[in-house]
Structure 1
Amino acid sequence: MSDLRGKKVLVIGLARSGQAAVRFLWEQGAQVTGADQKKESELGTEFQKLKEIPATFITGGYPKIKPEDWDLIIVSPGVPQTIPPVREAERYGIPIWSELELASRLIGEPIIAITGTNGKTTTTALLGYIFEKAGIPAAVAGNIGIPLIREVDRVLHGGRKVHYWVVEVSSFQLERIDRFRPHIAVFLNLTPDHIDRHGDLESYGKIKSRIFANQGADDWAVVNLDDSWLASNMPAVTSRVYGFSRRRLPAEGIGVQGGEICYHLKGKRERLCAADTVKMPGPHNLENALAAAAAALLAGVDRESVAGALATFPGVPHRLEEVRVLKGVKYVNDSKGTNPESVSRALDSFTNPVILIAGGRHKGSDFEELARKVKEKAKALILIGEAAGIIRQAVSGTGFKNIYDAASLAEGVQIASRLAEPGDVVLLSPACASWDMFRDYEERGECFKKLVNQL
């Protein structure tokens, strides 16, 4: 379906990517309808701007699906696959795409796609930074916060030259791909997350693995060789596998050996840089750096540019982002830490005592391992949001007693500031989604930064 003109298209979900899809489809001449179960008053100012175009909008529910009414349905990432209009469209055989699939069909340049439970945004942003430092035009978009369809629209109508597309992709987006084919597909890791949507780890992993589904013999699959799930469940792929490891140097891939990052490519072993020159802190960020370096080298970026970028990339907002040091206490915003494994990795990034602020909306994750990590690494735990009781139960079970409840993030920051002593770290790393108290993790992180700067 390359020509959208005159096609009857329903976009389900009118958050950021859904709004971008509606606008793009209308510009392409489609007869587009946007629908969301939220009321119009809940969709914000951006939706009011969207209403300026002569599309059809349905709020507070979804339309009934009839086969003659729709040629195509676009499902936004946050929309469950079990809602009636999706099930009805499946029954009638109406094509259902994610915004990722729609956008990718309009891209002619090579795509580098990054998925995984943790580190996607950091790796995507770092890879974009590497291309920038190398002087290679690249567009960075996707689940990183810039809808891919919006960036495609900008490139198509802005006359900008792009040599590569660097795209962060989530499991939600991969559920509804058809032909999406990245030239380089990066799978960072897999730990329990979004179990409330996918049911179990196995199903979640299979959906993530769809990133490789349409690759061919000339494409690359970049895979974390240290990840236990991938070691046992890596699907058979038709592309070439290029591994990365922070524990060893793979025969075909990139890794750490004797404190040096080295790689094998085209039959040659090359040194990239010393591992301790990677600017981002923590062992998990070393993995992210290896993955980004692998993708960049496979894309033809010279090693000097790659090494230089690893040594200077500061990280991304809301991911171990230092807010300020006040009276000897470091305040760190890790609002993007929305699952237990991510928070464990954040805690491992610090040697000083940590006062952890966690909680939010539970996504079905198990908190037992995080509870053990809290006992090992944290000085105190401050709980907020709907999941506070679940986390408290798990952490209390380890014998850890220094737990405080806060009715809001503001109260949590105040409690942390009273408990903190010089040398301590106050870390917001929630292990949960933000939707019980905030629009998204970005709003939560910005709120935390504002509260800290008001201390």
Structure 2
Amino acid sequence: MFTPAAHELPGMRVLVMGLGLFGGGVGAVRFLAKHGARVTVTDLKSAEQLAESVRALEGLPVEFHLGAHREADLDACELLVISPAVPPDNPFLREAVKRGIPVETELNLFVKLCRAPILGITGSNGKTTTTALVEAATRRMGGPTWLPAPPGCFDRPKRVWVGGNIGRSLLADLGDIQPNDAVVLELSSFQLENLAAIGRFPAAGLVTNLQPNHLDRHGTMEAYGNAKKNVLRGRGSVGIVNADCPVVGKWLSTAANPLSFGRRAPVARGACLSGGWISIADSGDAHTILPTSALRIPGLFNVENALAAACASWVLGATKDGIAQGFAEFRGCEHRLESFGTWGGVSWINDSIATNPDSTLAALRTLSQPLVLILGGHDKGLPFEDLARAISPRCRAVVLLGAATAKIGAALETAGCSVPVDRAKDLREAVAMSASHARSGDAVLLSPACASFDQFRNFEDRGKQFKAFAKEATAGRAEVEEMIAGAPRTATA
């Protein structure tokens, strides 16, 4: 892949393929236009579907060709910048490669041009929460750490920048990011696959876990795992892995400076539990940071996320007090076990980020009340058998929707599901059906175990629509007993 220097961009004809709704496409367009490139955007989605991203680019000299990819757009193209969601076998991309057009991605542009060391965070589940926890822990840099000196190349950075797949492009900030800063990026398997093509990897990498996901893109677990492992392949890198994960735990030797975290497995150097406290282990000593009871986010999986984030924050040179205060104040991320209201004694919980069965299983294990579960969406080629077996003991009813309805329904039938299973034509109907099943003391949980792209722009759109439909469906039944304003709140176990 080819990266032009900033002074080469003025007048260069650049085609951005895939504007999307997660910020990466918008960030790439802004960066390129700011540096004088002649930018055209092509996307299969319509202007109406991409309205939010199109509005974000108002006032910039950008041409939009939406609704289809037109080969004529490649005729004058000097650089093609693709979304990470574009698969390698995409016909339009293949035509560009055939013509000899240089290809780049938003993330690859950033990694090549960034002057500060990068810590990448990836994994099948938990990477967004882990990244957000690191951001919270590193807001207060400076002062005594009361921790052993961290390994690696992060020498107490002046500022920590956070972006990537969490929904924040840092391309526009390149001019402000200094060599003595640090960058934390949440990275998807798609982004890491593209990084491998240029042989550029983060200075430090963290893998939360590895479970079946995105098999519709990668084909096999081996290929999916290899993409994730790229985060650990930097020369002289610090690698942080989950010692409790049977797959990822074996990757410890991949990195030059290995660290680990875990609730159960022994940790020689990294983050562990010590007497119910999140602690940093180093040379046989455990340096306690805060008790797990101080975390506001529920579930054992979030204890693992906190351990991962503590280890990463230590590598970044965060202070003990900064980590403890940041974790204690962190209230969770929107769309991640987000409890947003209680009507008529029924709690409503938005877990739209759960795009694979293991995420939904984690939610079922974390919540204690009887559940009415909304499942379904775009099938990513994942098995539903384990989830199906867990439904009857935990749920009062299940409501299915989306393209994966038949596959999930078959898994439930094979598992001998003993609770009512409804099928809805859309999310509004699914919410209404769920409300009819729920009783006081129950919770209605949207935890789809599937991607959102069959009916929604993204998982955030799905979550926001769910919250709106819930308010609509429960209007008049009872006064709101609790409604969160401002920062999201996670459900309690």
TM-score, normalized by the shorter chain, greater than 0.5: yes
- Please state if 1:425 is matched with 2:432: no
Which of 11, 24, 30 is matched with 2:31 structurally?
24
- Name the counterpart of 1:436: 454
Q: Which of 345, 351, 365 does residue 362 from structure 2 map onto?
A: 345
- Structure 1 residues 184, 160: CA separation in 2 closer, same or farther (over 3 Å shift)? closer
Which residue of structure 1 aligns with residue 147 of structure 2? none
Q: Compare 174-183 and 114-123 and name the one that shifted more.
A: 174-183
Query: Are 1:12 and 2:3 matched, yes or no?
Result: no
Change (3 A) 1:421 1:25: same
Name the residue aligned to 2:137. 130
Q: Secondary structure at the match of 2:175?
A: helix
Q: CA deviation at 1:267?
A: 6.6
Counterpart of 1:14 in structure 2: which amino acid? L
Equivalent runs, 1:60-139 vs 2, <5 Å: 60-64=67-71, 69-91=76-98, 94-134=101-141, 137-139=159-161
C-alpha deviation, 1:386, in angstroms: 1.6
Q: Confirm or deny that 1:397 pairs with 2:414.
A: yes
- The amino acid that maps onto 1:208 is K
Letter in 2 for 1:377: R
CA distance in 1: counterparts of 2:52 and 2:423, whole angstroms = 34
Distance 2:387 2:269 in 1: 33
The percentage of aligned residue pairs carrying the same residue is: 37
- The superposition leaves residues 171-210 of structure 1 with CA deviations (integer Å, 9 ceiling, x where unpaired) of 1212212254323211111111111111111111111111
Aligned residue runs from structure 1 range 363-378, under 5 A: 363-378=380-395
Alignment CA distance shift 1:231-1:25 (3 Å) = same
* Corresponding residue for residue 285 of structure 1: 302
Q: Using the TM superposition, give the Cα deviation of residue 94 of structure 1 relative to its aligned residue in structure 2, in angstroms.
A: 4.4
Partners of 2:461 and 2:241 lie apart in 1 by 32
After superposing the two structures, state which structure 1 stretch, 46-55 or 280-289, moved more: 46-55
C-alpha distance 173-94 of structure 1, shift in aligned 2 (>3 A)? same
**What's 1:140 paired with?**
162
Partner of 2:203: 183
Change (3 A) 1:422 1:39: closer
Q: Deviations over 1:233-262 (max 9, x none)?
A: x28534311101111440122112432322
Paired residue for 1:261? Answer: 278
The structure 1 residue matched to 2:231, chosen from 183, 199, 211, is 211
Judged with a 3 Å threshold, the aligned counterparts in structure 2 of structure 1 residues 436 and 66 are, in CA distance, closer, same or farther, namely closer
RMSD: 2.6
CA deviation vs aligned residue, 1:277-313 (integer Å, no higher than 9, x gap): 2221011111111111100011111112212222221
Gaps of 5+ in 2: 143-157, 475-493
> CA contact under 8 A between 2:201 and 2:230: conserved in structure 1?
no
Query: How far apart, in 2, do the equivalents of 1:235 and 1:243 lie?
Result: 7
Equivalent pair of 1:249/1:263 in contact (CA under 8 Å): no
The 2-side partners of 1:396 and 1:74 are apart by 45
Q: Structure 1 pair 377/49, CA: closer, same or farther in 2 (3 Å)?
A: closer
Deviates more, 1:126-135 or 1:436-445: 126-135
Alpha-carbon shift at residue 44 of structure 1 (Å): 2.1
Distance 1:337 1:369, change over 3 A: same
Greater alpha carbon shift after TM alignment, 27-36 vs 292-301: 27-36
Q: Deviations over 1:348-405 (max 9, x none)?
A: 1112212111111111111011111223322221111121121111012111132122
Greater shift, 50-59 or 20-29, is seen at 50-59
Could you tell me how far 1:448 is from its partner in structure 2?
A: 1.3
Inter-partner Cα distance in structure 2 for 1:436 and 1:291 = 32
The one-letter amino acid paired with 1:96 is V
Equivalent residue in structure 2 for 1:294, among 311, 324, 346: 311
Query: Secondary structure of 2:240's partner?
Result: strand
**Higher relative contact order structure (alpha carbons within 8 Å, sequence separation ≥ 6):** 2
Matched, 1:449 2:467: yes
Amino acid at match of 1:76: S
Q: Counterpart of 2:226 in 1: which secondary structure?
A: helix
CA spacing shift, 1:305–1:53, aligned 2, 3 Å: closer
Q: What TM-score results when the alignment is normalised by the length of structure 2?
A: 0.84
Relative to structure 1, is the Cα distance of residues 153 and 66 closer, same or farther in structure 2, using a 3 angstrom cutoff?
closer
Q: Indicate the SS of the match to 2:271.
A: strand
After superposition, the Cα gap between the structure-2 partners of 1:446 and 1:41, relative to the gap in structure 1 and judged at 3 Å, is closer
- In structure 1, the partner of 2:241 is 223
Correspondence 1:192 to 2:212: yes
> Is 199-208 or 82-91 further displaced after alignment?
82-91
The answer (yes or no) to whether the contact 1:139–1:162 under 8 Å persists in 2 is no
Alignment TM-score, normalising by the size of structure 1: 0.90
Deviation for aligned residue 1:437: 1.7
Counterparts in 2 of 1:451 and 1:49: CA distance versus 1, 3 Å: closer
2:281 and 2:105 map into 1 onto residues whose CA distance is: 36
Alignment of 1:295-334 (within 5 A): 295-334=312-351
Equivalent position SS for 1:380? strand
Q: CA 1:350–1:329 in structure 2 vs 1: closer, same or farther (change >3 Å)?
A: same
Whole-angstrom CA distance in 2 between matches of 1:333 and 1:224: 27
State the match for 2:432 in structure 1. 414
**In the superposition, relative to structure 1, how do residues 55 and 162 fare at CA in structure 2: closer, same or farther (>3 Å)?**
farther
